[in-house]
Amino acid sequence: MTDTKESLAEDPTFAKYARVIKLTHADPQRIARNQMEDGMSEEDIDRFARVFDPDYVPKAAPSGENGSLKERLDAMERSIIAKFEKMILDREERIIAAIEGAPAAERPQVYTAAAAADPVPKISAAPAAPAAAPAARQSQSAEVESDFELPNKSEWIAIKGVTSTSGVYVESRCKLGYDMVRRSRSGVRWVMFEFDPKMEWIIPTKKGMATEDYRTDWANFVTILPDKQACYVLYNFEYADAGGSGYAQAGRDVLKSKMTLFAWTDSGCKVKERMVAASSQSAIKQVCKGSMDQAVHDKKDMEYDYICTQI
C-alpha cells in the first residue's frame, strides 16, 4: 500500500512528526534530522520524507553514490541556509534602494562623533544602539582581540551611511582595513572582520601580510579561519593567468588579482549566528566596494585551485 500523509499520521511511528508538520509547518528536512537523533531507522526516515518532503532525495544507492543519510541531510540544510541568505540579501537591497530614493527628511539619520558627545551611533526607526560597556570593562581596549588597536567599545563609531536590516553597526576602522587591502603598497594581503560577542558590531580583527608565494599565503589564511563562528574576510586573491587575455607574452603567465569578500560561516555555527551573518553581509559589502562576493562554509572546500574556479 502506498503511504499517504493521512496513513502516516495514524501510524504510531510517525504520528508525532506528522502532527508537528501540520501544526507548525516545520521544514521536513529539520524533522528528518530530529528523527535521526531519535534513533529512527534510515528506512523509516526515507519513508516519511518521501511523503512529506517535496525536495526528497532518494535513498543512497548500494554504491553510496548519493552519500549517507547524514551527508544528505547536511546537504539539504546547507541548501536551506543558502536560500535564506539570498532572500535576506535581496530584501536588504530593496530596503537600501528605497532609503536612497526617499526624500532627505525621511532618510534614517546616522549619528557621528561630530554630532554630539555620546559616541554611540543612533539610527532613527531602528533598534536601540548598543549600550556602552560596563564601568568595570572601561580599561579594556575591546571585547575581541584585534590587530587594529580598537579603543573602548564605548568609543566605537559606526560608519555613516552603512545600513543593515539586522541592526548591526560597522565600526569605522573597517574602512581602514578595506584601504589596506586595496592599496597594494600597504603589503596587506587580507583583513578579517568579525562580530563582537553580542553580535552588535562588525569590527576589524586580523590582517595578513602578502608574500611572493600567494599560494602559501592562502593556505596560511585558511588555517586561521575560526571554528564554529562567522566572519568576513576581504582578500586580495592573486592567481596566474596562463594567457588568452592578450597580456601574456612568449608563453609566460601574467599575475592578476581579484579583491574578494569571503563570507565565512563555519558548518558548526549556531543557526542564530548564521542568520545574523547573512543579514549583515550587505553592510560590510557597502564598505568593501568593488569586491566580489564568495560564500565559504567548510575548509575542505577551500583548496586554492578550486577557489580559482569559483571567483
The Cα–Cα gap between 159 and 170 comes to: 6
Whether the per-residue pLDDT at 137 is higher than 70: the answer is no
Q: Which amino acid is at 281?
A: Q
DSSP 8-state symbol, 197:
T
State residue 311's pLDDT score. 79
Does 296 fall in a domain? yes
Q: Which of 68, 84, 100 is the last residue of a domain?
A: 84
Average pLDDT over residues 133-147: 49
Query: Using alpha carbons only, what angle is made at residue 14 by residues 11 and 18, rounded to the nearest 5 degrees?
Result: 110
Residue 68 pLDDT grade (very low, low, confident, very high; cuts 50, 70, 90)? low
State residue 67's pLDDT score. 57
The Cα–Cα gap between 248 and 244 comes to: 7
State residue 145's pLDDT score. 72
Please answer whether residues 210 and 225 qualify as being in contact, where contact means their C-beta atoms are separated by less than 8 angstroms.
no
Strand-pair category, 188-195 with 292-296? unpaired
Which residues are within 8 A (CB) of 92 and not within 5 positions of it... i.e. 6 or more apart?
164, 165, 279, 282
Q: Which of 84, 100, 133 is the last residue of a domain?
A: 84
Does 69 fall in a domain? yes
DSSP 8-state symbol, 135:
G
Does 246 fall in a domain? yes
Average pLDDT over residues 124-130: 44
Whether the per-residue pLDDT at 46 is higher than 90: the answer is no
Average pLDDT over residues 130-137: 42
State residue 73's pLDDT score. 64
**Alpha helices for 25-110 (secondary structure H):** 28-37, 42-52, 69-101
- Between 250 and 77, the more confident residue is 77
Residue 24 pLDDT grade (very low, low, confident, very high; cuts 50, 70, 90)? confident
Average pLDDT over residues 245-255: 60
Domain of 74? 5-84
Residue 173 pLDDT grade (very low, low, confident, very high; cuts 50, 70, 90)? very high
The cell for 29 is: 528536512
Q: Do residues 64 and 127 share a domain?
A: no
The mean of the pLDDT values for the chain is: 77
Does 263 fall in a domain? yes
Does 96 fall in a domain? no
Residues written for the chain: 311
Q: Do residues 212 and 265 share a domain?
A: yes
State residue 248's pLDDT score. 47
The Cα–Cα gap between 214 and 232 comes to: 20
Whether the per-residue pLDDT at 249 is higher than 50: the answer is yes
Q: Do residues 153 and 297 share a domain?
A: yes
Whether the per-residue pLDDT at 301 is higher than 60: the answer is yes
Q: Do residues 58 and 185 share a domain?
A: no
Residue 135 pLDDT grade (very low, low, confident, very high; cuts 50, 70, 90)? very low
- Between 36 and 135, the more confident residue is 36
The Cα–Cα gap between 19 and 26 comes to: 10
pTM of the model: 0.55
